Structure 1
Amino acid sequence: MHNGETSLEAQQRILEVFKSIPVNEHALIVTHGNIMSLLLNHFDKQFGFDEWKALKNPDLYAIDEALQVKHITI
């Protein structure tokens, strides 16, 4: 797409949002699957294309204080 956002640019954008959350605060980030996958991939390099394809709608993940990713079954 001409002048579109790359995955790296999108990942940097969502990371800025994540980093803006004050330490020891709880927050809920609601987004679409691509942005969520890019955020999760930053913290868990095993989260890739196959995991993106397997996302449900809705799907819920937690990133804890140790920056560990956990899938939450709903």
Structure 2
Amino acid sequence: MGKLRLEFFRAATELDIKTVAIYSNEDKGSLHRYKADESYLVGEDLGPADSYLNIERIIEVAKRAEVDAIHPGYGFFK
């Protein structure tokens, strides 16, 4: 997991902010899924790019998890 994501989770924990992560099938084992307080699979039958761009599903997850804000991300890394 990238240093920036680890820093995000550390800061959220220090501020007592609940975190919710989304992940694709290919990212099932990614550390960010386990660092978050809750995590949800998006784009069950899609590749990573299509999963993370599945706005309807992301909004559905956000509503279910009652989130206050969504980090827009900053692109895909290889």
TM-score by length of 1: 0.33
Higher helix share: 2
